[in-house]
Amino acid sequence: MRALVLALLLLAAPASAEETLTSGLSQDYLQITSTFTGSELTVFGAVENPRAGGTRDIVVVVRGPDTLMTIRRKDHIAGLWINNARAKMWLPSYYFITATRPLRAFADADTLGRYELGLGNLRADTVASDGDAKPYADALVRTQKRAGLYIQTDAGVEMQSATLFRVHVPIPAAVPRGSYNVEVYLFRAGEVTAAQSTPFYVDQAGFERRVFEFAHTSPLTYGLFTVLMAVALGWASTFFFRART
């Protein structure tokens, strides 16, 4: 639903509003290697045909590919903590959002919820749940936030001038590979008047890429090779220690 609303806005905004947005990325493809420790993506842009008067706000969102997540609830039963319930749901693997100022300072809850702006407005697509799914979704958001994969900051949009802006987006080492989406929203009087969406790709490179492709194209061969390599390493280590004693 959020994607449909954004698509309609992208088609309608230029024709119905004086102000429009243009934005770009410092890079549109990020390669992950064995030495990758994180990176940074710069989102920059400008407000075209700026309208005089009033206050405008910019919101920048980066969403990673949706992934099926499982979370379990531990209950204290017979003196032991055990996994007693669980839920499975689709959520973005990475989510970053910032704006010119706190979101609730210029937009109401309905508008923020419509575009899923803010960690509290992410809507999970629940596959299975033992009971009410919302506590599980909230727990997943907290888990992703602790892992550095969900980030919400206030006033992270740097205004270079009255119309030019820039945002630095942290890309942690644990980001999953896949297609990301960078969304930029222009707010006027609490309503979205323009928006732009740009894709961004994260992928593995080098030896890690070849291993990944081998594991997914020939899983049986990859499994046998892994077992044989583990046996060979075990035998070699045993022989080495016997030789030293």
Q: Give me the numbers of helices (H) and strands (E) for the chain, helices first please.
A: 5, 13
Task: Name the amino acid, one letter, at 210.
Answer: R
Number of residues in the chain: 245
| Residue range 43-59, pLDDT digits in tens | 999 999 888 777 899 99
- Can you tell me the distance from the alpha carbon of 52 to that of 59, in angstroms, rounded to the nearest whole number? 20
- The residues facing 216 across adjacent strands are none
- Can you tell me the distance from the alpha carbon of 50 to that of 21, in angstroms, rounded to the nearest whole number? 10
Q: Of 129, 59, 130, 127, nearest to 96 (Cα)?
A: 59
Q: What is the mean pLDDT of residues 210-236?
A: 64
Q: Is the pLDDT of residue 34 over 80?
A: no
pLDDT category, 244, cuts 50, 70, 90?
low
Other Cβ atoms less than 10 A from the Cβ of 122: the count is: 21
Q: Of 182, 161, 163, 160, nearest to 171 (Cα)?
A: 182
Of the two residues 82 and 146, the one the predictor is more confident about is 146
Q: Which helix (H) or strand (E) holds 230?
A: helix 219-244
- Can you tell me the distance from the alpha carbon of 107 to that of 105, in angstroms, rounded to the nearest whole number? 6
- The residues facing 126 across adjacent strands are 89
5, 59, 233 from 128: Cα distances, Å: 26, 32, 41
Instruction: Compute the Cα dihedral for 206, 209, 210, 211 and give only its sign.
Output: positive
Of the two residues 46 and 75, the one the predictor is more confident about is 46
- The proportion of the chain whose per-residue pLDDT surpasses 70, expressed as a percent, equals 73
Return the SS3 of 180.
strand
| Residue range 182-192, pLDDT digits in tens | 999 999 989 99
57, 80, 131, 212, 223 from 168: Cα distances, Å: 17, 45, 39, 30, 41
Report residue 213 CA to chain centroid gap: 23
Of the two residues 133 and 82, the one the predictor is more confident about is 133
Say what the pTM is. Answer: 0.76
What is 187-202 written as a DSSP string? EETTEEEEEEEEEEEE
Residue 88 in contact with residue 53, Cβ under 8 Å? no
Return the SS3 of 25.
strand
HSE-CB of 183 using CA atoms within 13 angstroms: 25
